[in-house]
Structure 1
Amino acid sequence: MQSMQDRRAVRQALADWREQHAIAADGVAAAWPRAEPDAAAWRHWLDRALLALGAALLCAGVIVFFAFNWQDLHKFARFGLLAGALSLLAAFAWLRPGGDMAARAALCGAQVVAGVLLAVIGQVYQSGADAWQLFALWALLAAPWALAARAAPHWWLVLVLANVALLRYCSVRLGVGGMFDLLFGAAGERGTTLFLLAAALAQLALWFALRAALPALGFRGLAGARMLAALACAYAGWLGIGSLLDSRFDAAMFGLALLALGALLAWFRLRAFDVVALSLASFALIVMVVTAAARVLLDGSHAGFGAFLLLGLLTIGLSATAAAWLLRAQRQHDAAFAQGEPA
């Protein structure tokens, strides 16, 4: 079955060819219906969407059940209910045929229930451990379920849990109150943000390596790379902005942020094209450039309305340039894809 991304690329290529008079109108009219999703494609998408929604609601129900009945349940009843739910989900997935969507939904539920079980153990037996250990252990327990499911969404959960654990660990190491304090005011936050940026880039490289070597294990699609690219762009942008807003401009950190964004732009334009990742990197770069211009224009005591007008014009100009570049890159990629050439 043709994927939605492939259909969109074909439609865009047909529209571009028609605009350039490279194909007749009747040719577009004949080829266009084959690029639109048919009834079977919509039913397949609806089945997957409703199954994912049902699994999410069931997991939310498990969490709400324990939160509401916490005082009325004995500790062994809590453990037994969660262990029973985990066993039922695993047995259901094991009895289903390989690649079955219901089995994968059950395995996703098992990933969530495993985390709930860890949280319940931590609440019953208070050990003083920090939350980053919960998320780190949860990520480790979620990985075998992702291996059993062999589906990309299960690895997304592992990525989210691992990065939350890493961010929380960095906040504890700095001795701040929370993750937002880490990014917005803790001492030494730039060095830690640089470490988090390096970790996000390393995860992105590992994701692409696994996607090339082990696609059968679920390392497929664009969403996982987009999540990590968004994380890397956020860290790079904050690293650059932090170096600009400090009393002393840190050129080394600003240069590293620019280098990271440039590497992301080059990779997602030349090697693994993705307009979403390119948009995120372009947005982060625009924010950094506008912030640098604001520091120069507003640093003096005589900065007035003209400086804000220039900043507004600069933002509009950079945004229009980025949008034009992204549109041209997308059209080139879609045309190459429709012609069967390597994008």
Structure 2
Amino acid sequence: MQVTSTVANGERRAIRRALADWRAHGRLPAEAIAAPWARTEPAAADWRRWLDRALMALGTALLCAGVIVFFAFNWQELHKFSRFGLLAAAITVLAAFAWMRPADAAGRAALGGAQVLSGVLLAVMGQTYQTGADAWQLFALWALLAVPWALAARAAPHWWLVLVVGNVALLRYFSIRFGMDGLFALLFDSRYLRTATLALLGAVLLQLALWHLLAVRAPGLGFRGQTGSRLLAALACVQAGSLGLASLFDSRFDAASFVVAVAVLAGLAWWYRQRAFDIVVLSLTCLTGIVLVVAGLGKLLFEGKGDFGAFLLLGLVTIGLAAGAAAWLMRAYRAQLRAQLRAQPEQA
């Protein structure tokens, strides 16, 4: 198999790991993999392209942070129309720059900056005109305003911002819906934890299904890569784990909520093993499952009385579950590598 420097990063990593696996198991001698391994090393152009993107992202983040700090420091000295005018001018300049360079990384970075500044504009409006609106409305409107910029950019990072801001709005909304003081009270108050977690878990699973659907139907709009689905799957694991722990440590065991949590974890494990393989999400589901098993066993052991033997048993169970999960993940990963290599056409 010939490996050129233009091969995609994911394929390059898969080939390198497969070669390393074959070498470790003695299937290929060292001299047989030296040439293919060398051709999978990043070329100078790859490093320059990565450095350009990294510096572009860092520059955009620093620019947005500078705008926020400028308004925070000079709030009293600026007239309200000056605040709006400066922000509108900044967004206009960024949009014009992106319009002149639509297919360029710099243009997409400018659109990302406009996404962030649109949220800053909403915050400035909320501070200038105290209408009594809650913060969840700010984040919800920001998520809506970020959608057109993401559609214009057609890049996955712009959709990540939409996901993060939208889920923050959901968290804040449910904290107000249940009469809580803030997000931490919502996440740790036993009175509403299960109800809020069920609602948030359903919302995250809906977003995850929509992301995968759009990744198949409309990848050109920016629904590409694994980071977006990983963000949502990680949030789903957190919500499922919170739901399972809440049902375990409540004064009365809630079997239905615990079954829902386990079913969500099992569904995520099946999907990301069979349909859209992702070792990161599989690792997160295994970690969450281990936490639930150890927590449930710990509750059973310490309900009556606890002694040193219970701690020893929990430690052994944790080690055994971690070792079993690591072995399963390694087998799944190697099987996926072999499937990817078989699917790649052999080149002369």
TM-score w.r.t. length of structure 1: 0.97
Q: What residue is the counterpart of 2:308 in the other structure?
A: 305
Residue 260 of structure 2 corresponds to residue 246 of structure 1: no
Equivalent residue, structure 2, for 1:49: 54
| 2:228 equivalent in structure 1 | 224
- Specify the alignment match of 2:211 in structure 1: 207
Deviation at 1:341, TM superposition (A): 6.2
Q: Does residue 44 of structure 2 align to residue 65 of structure 1?
A: no
The count of corresponding residues between Structure 1 and Structure 2 is 340
* Structure 1: runs of 5 or more not aligned: none
- Counterpart residue number, 2:23: 18
Q: Which runs of 4+ in 1 moved over 4 A?
A: none
The gaps in structure 2 that reach 5 residues or longer are 1-5
Please report the RMSD computed on the Cα atoms of aligned residues, expressed in angstroms: 1.2
Percent identity between matched residues is 63
CA contact (8 A) 2:16 2:40 kept: yes
**What is the rounded CA distance, in whole Å, between the counterparts of 1:35 and 1:334 in structure 2?**
15
Residue 2 of structure 1: how far off its partner (Å): 2.6
Look up the SS of the partner of 2:150 in the other structure.
Answer: helix
Paired residue for 1:125, among 111, 123, 129? 129
1:148-163 aligned within 5 A: 148-163=152-167
Specify whether residues 293 and 341 from structure 1 end up closer, same or farther in structure 2 by C-alpha distance, changes over 3 A only: farther
Q: Report the 3-state secondary structure (helix = DSSP H, G, I; strand = E; otherwise coil) of the residue aligned with 1:299.
A: helix
Distance in 2 (CA, whole Å) between partners of 1:21 and 1:294 is 43
Aligned counterparts of 1:46 and 1:33: Cα–Cα separation in 2: 21
| Maintained 8 Å contact 1:94/1:103 | yes
* Contact kept in structure 2, 1:182 and 1:189, CA below 8 Å: yes
1:49-108 residue CA offsets vs partner (Å, 9 max, x unmatched): 010000000000000000000010000000000000010000010011x32000000000
Contact 2:190 2:246 (C-alpha < 8 Å) held by counterparts: no
* Aligned residues of 1:55 and 1:105 also touching (Cα < 8 A): yes
- From 167, 170, 177, the equivalent of 1:173 is 177
SS at match of 2:304: coil
Whole-Å separation in 2 of the counterparts to 1:322 and 1:85: 50
- Are 1:90 and 2:90 counterparts? no
Q: Matches of 1:8 and 1:326 in 2, distance apart? A: 17
Range 18-27 or range 45-54, more displaced = 18-27
Match of 1:289 in 2: 293
- 1:213-261 CA distance string (max 9 Å, x none): 0000000000000000000000000000000010111011000000000
Task: Report the counterpart of residue 13 of structure 2 in structure 1.
Answer: 8
Equivalent residue letter for 1:67: A
1:32-61 residue CA offsets vs partner (Å, 9 max, x unmatched): 011121111111111100100000000000
State the partner residue of 1:105: 109
What SS class does the counterpart of residue 76 from structure 2 fall into?
coil
Deviation string for 1:94-153 (max 9, x for gaps)? 011x32000000000000000000000000000100000000000000000000000000
Whether the 8 Å CA contact 1:143–1:158 is kept in 2: the answer is yes
For 1:179 and 1:309, how far apart are their aligned partners in 2?
A: 36
Query: Counterpart of 2:39 in structure 1: which amino acid?
Result: R
The residue type paired with residue 154 of structure 2 is R
TM-score between the two structures when normalised by the length of structure 2: 0.96
1:256-311 deviations in Å (ceiling 9; x for gaps): 0000000000000110000100111111110000000000000003x211101111
Distance 1:138 1:321 in 2: 44
* Residue 343 of structure 2: aligned partner: 340
